[in-house]
Structure 1
């Protein structure tokens, strides 16, 4: 594994390179003190992972990681952040281009954990089974009534704003995913990744949005009975609202979007519902969490959303030590679906004491009284 460290010795001490070298001959460390030198290295040959300190003499970390993503999209991109930033999430622009965020000063064991976890995620998103299963699907199914509901809302009220449209779109996870896909396409994105529906709706414009919804509905091929689809839609919306409440305001939209799309793999043909039964050795179908993550990865959605979708059933597979998007999605989906919660994971993340309060939030959203709970 070839790892490029970008920054000065104050943020990337020499012992980090020595630690990586001690992992064995299959691990190689390259160094660059600035962004332009790093891009020369990346352009010269493939790099498995790039680790960038927050302050460079020529480029900011967001710009450098964005250039790496364009030139070598397969490269793992890690951004370092100052420890005094505390529990505040990274800037939105940095979230869009980095796969992982690690604190400074950087401990070697934390770096190793992040690299192995991201390698696992990359392997998840590079599965031949998933490529074959998802590659044959052109359209995601979605309920036929959404276009009419959206059109009626826009025609009945001239003051309908993007927040009203967002609420309608958010009620259908398949359409929400398509809206995010299109808003992040080269034609609309202008290089800036969009992870929340309200911004996506504003970027697309209402006319384009309605056309997108109509096309998605007309050409969709439902793979689930109507009752199951409606139930899935209702649970996704509840989980989305709940996940937003479990995170600080600055991360609420990211968590809401990830929870809304967490079970989108269930809308795809040829996948296995991982909540119904354990994996069977004779069942070659991909699990729905991995299938959903693969699909969103193809669409170029932000990695925090992709990771949350792929790992929300097994949050311990995430190397993120703090409770963030993956954890919020795990808790929200488990509470809404009545599934077991990984309390060992919550204990490790230091938030297990909040679980009773989160159960109250879920019961409130689902209309369950204290006595019924």
Structure 2
């Protein structure tokens, strides 16, 4: 890239992690299509809503990272192919075939049937916190809730939930420890390898002892009609496991923090629970867990806003920047739970629109509703500046921890 590249030192800082929206607003206004250097990989960033929405369905921007140039090596690392070669990183017709296999498991009617079980898990987690008057809401609630739900859906044995969680958290929190970079990379690669080995073993166990769960259905798709290959079965399982809890956990942390720092909105929601569905959409627009959509590759030179993105470039669609575009949202940096629901991009757009949207909305509705109903006096346990976040270069926007206090 040329000297016009926006360097990482101007974006991927602690200040950016705490509040990226002023910097994104400057990019959106002055350089809406901009080459950006980052600690992970260089890419072109698209920040305006209309451009972002178009880019998410642009057939010239491929999701296949496993072509001749093998972009996955740059993005995910050398041990990642066994986990990341899945429908998220593929184009139609492969994407269509892979998504069709699992879409029935996430049909809205089937997900709604899970509501009583999810409500039970929510209450059990709050029961553990409630007597103490304080908690780390990420560790004690936001992370274990969606992890438990997706593990039960997939058919991961309860005794293994903790180990699976540990591996996924090593991957999620990469870059946030004090370890040297080479040790950090080694830890992530080891977690990827162990998780791949575990999921492959779980698939074998489900084949020997069929079960009525998602992995059991995927095994059936391999054995009876050849819809999935053996490798695709494992990578699809990983995608559902990771996507099924990661973004929901980060969203819950971001949402609670947004409410705690906007107490008038929190009290409005506490007093008016019927606002919950609309509030979830506004909280997702306001500070979503996926700041930039998963990478795309330009298969030819493409023009956006009169700027040419060269063939072979990695393209990032800045979801959170687009969701704060004043051309589409009045006073976009204001949290307004009564905002008329608009077409935000928090769940994506096009063929890669979030498969688990019904599950994510239900978990968020039950979780936020119960927290506000059961934990009176809920407030931050530390000054806002001391809240520890994922590093700015992380592909996720979330919290490492969220200390809170409340009336025991």
Pairwise TM-score range, normalised by the shorter structure = under 0.3
Q: Which structure ranks higher in relative contact order (CA pairs < 8 Å, sequence separation ≥ 6)?
A: 2
